[in-house]
Amino acid sequence: MASEKAAKYFGNGFHCAEAVATAVLDAIGEEPSEAAAHATAFGGGFGRTFQEACGALSGALIAIGHLYGRRELGGEWDLAAELGAKIRQRFLDDFGATNCATLRTRFGEERQMIECRNLTKKVTATLLALFTENPDQYEAMMNPSTVQFE
């Protein structure tokens, strides 16, 4: 299952952004080999500063960009923007904030790694669920019925 794979990546050394981007692309049959590299600087609230957006959310945005981002100057990016706004709102609904430091403070020192791992799982599942809500619109899902979210 994709969310469990994200948790495994997280537990084996990828940080939140790397784990989400890699697990999402892998789950839908895209080549995930570069996903971690593209996500690396986003971990820990941007460059391990813990002061900006949660890396798991950034990883989801990186996956969206990989799938729906522009490939040429002046290309359309409406779908990428729509999905980005939706995953951000769902993240806010689920966790109440997008800021890494705010989330880590809420989790408490002793539970930060456990809760960040759980958050990574949830974001992965949420993004994959977004892709299947309107399969006609989100064509990157070649076979949405085969993706396991939880």
User: How many domains are there within the chain?
Assistant: 1
Give the whole-angstrom CA distance, residue 123 versus residue 143.
Answer: 20
Give the whole-angstrom CA distance, residue 41 versus residue 135.
Answer: 31
Alpha helix locations (H) across 44-145? Answer: 55-68, 78-95, 100-107, 112-133
User: CB burial class (10 A; 0-12, 13-18, 19+) of residue 54?
Assistant: buried
Provide the CB-side half-sphere exposure for 14 (13 A, CA): 28
For the chain, what percent of residues have pLDDT higher than 90?
Answer: 82
pTM exceeds 0.95: no
Where is pLDDT greater, at 143 or 105? 105
Q: What is residue 132's predicted lDDT score, i.e. its pLDDT?
A: 87
Q: Which domain holds residue 47?
A: 2-146
